[in-house]
Amino acid sequence: MNLGIIGSGGREHALCEALSKSKKVDKIYCFPGNAGTSKIAENILINTDDFNALKKFILSKNIQLIIVGPEKPLVEGIVDFFESINIPIFGPNKFASQLEGSKIFTKKICEKYKIPTAKFGIFENIDKAKSFISETKFPLVVKADGLAAGKGVYICENKDNASNAIEEIFNGKFGKAKHILIEEFLKGEEMSYFIVSDGKNIKRFQTAQDHKRVGEGDTGKNTGGMGAYSPSRLINKELDEKILEKIIQPTLKALKDMNCIYKGFLYAGLMITNNEPYLIEYNVRMGDPECQTIIPKLKSDLLDIVLACIESKLDQIQIDWHDINSLCIVLCSKGYPDQYKKDMIIKNLTKINLDQNQKIYHAGTKIKNEDIVSNGGRVLNFVNLSRTFKKARESNIKLIEEINWPNGFYRKDIGFNVIE
Residues within the interface to ligand GLY (CB under 6 A) = 210, 225, 283, 287-288, 290
Shortest Å, Cβ 225 to ligand GLY? 4
Selected from 22, 242, 269, 300, the binder of ligand AMP by CB under 6 A is: 269
Rounded CA separation 389/51 (Å) = 42
Task: Please tell me whether residue 281 binds ligand AMP under the rule CB under 6 A.
Answer: yes
Nearer to ligand AMP, 185 or 409 (CB): 185
Nearer to ligand GLY, 34 or 407 (CB): 34
Shortest Å, Cβ 186 to ligand GLY? 17
**210 binding partner (options ligand AMP, ligand GLY, none; Cβ < 5 to 8 Å by kind):** ligand GLY
Nearer to ligand AMP, 31 or 120 (CB): 120
Shortest Å, Cβ 150 to ligand AMP? 6
Task: Please tell me whether residue 280 binds ligand AMP under the rule CB under 6 A.
Answer: yes
Q: Which residue is nearest to ligand GLY (CB)?
A: 287
Nearer to ligand AMP, 88 or 269 (CB): 269
Per CB under 6 A, which region of 51-59, 181-189, 227-235, 393-401 contacts ligand AMP?
181-189
Nearer to ligand GLY, 307 or 363 (CB): 363
List C-alpha distances in Å: 155 to 1, 63, 107, 139, 222. 47, 44, 18, 7, 11
- The neighbouring-strand residues paired with 140 are 156, 184
Q: Of the candidates 346, 350, 411, which has an alpha carbon nearest to the alpha carbon of residue 379?
A: 346
Task: Please tell me whether residue 168 binds ligand AMP under the rule CB under 6 A.
Answer: no
Shortest Å, Cβ 29 to ligand GLY? 23
Shortest Å, Cβ 270 to ligand GLY? 12
**113 binding partner (options ligand AMP, ligand GLY, none; Cβ < 5 to 8 Å by kind):** none
3-class SS letters over the chain: CEEEEEECCHHHHHHHHHHHCCCCCCEEEEEECCCCHHHCCEECCCCCCCHHHHHHHHHHCCCCEEEECCHHHHHCCHHHHHHHCCCCEECCCCCCCHHHHCHHHHHHHHHHHCCCECCEEEECCHHHHHHHHCCCCCCEEEEECCCCCCCCEEEECCHHHHHHHHHHHHCCECECCCCEEEEECCCCEEEEEEEEEECCCEEEEEEEEEEEEEECCCEEEEEEEEEEEECCCCCCHHHHHHHHHHHHHHHHHHHHHCCCCCEEEEEEEEEEECCEEEEEEEECCCCCCHHHHHHHHECCCHHHHHHHHHCCCHHHCCCCECCCEEEEEEEEECCCCCCCCCCCECCHHHHCCCCCCEEEEECCEEEECCEEEECCCEEEEEEEEECCHHHHHHHHHHHHHHHCCCCEECCCCCCCCCCC
Nearer to ligand AMP, 211 or 366 (CB): 211
Selected from 132, 185, 321, 409, the binder of ligand AMP by CB under 6 A is: 185
Longest CA–CA span in the chain (Å) reads: 62
**185 binding partner (options ligand AMP, ligand GLY, none; Cβ < 5 to 8 Å by kind):** ligand AMP
Binders of ligand AMP in range 102-121 (CB under 6 A): 118
Selected from 18, 141, 156, 314, the binder of ligand AMP by CB under 6 A is: 141
Shortest Å, Cβ 85 to ligand AMP? 33
Shortest Å, Cβ 331 to ligand AMP? 22
Nearer to ligand GLY, 188 or 269 (CB): 269
**118 binding partner (options ligand GLY, ligand AMP, none; Cβ < 5 to 8 Å by kind):** ligand AMP
Nearer to ligand AMP, 46 or 153 (CB): 153
Residues lying near ligand AMP in the complex (CB under 6 A): 118, 141, 150, 153, 183, 185-186, 190, 212, 269, 280-281
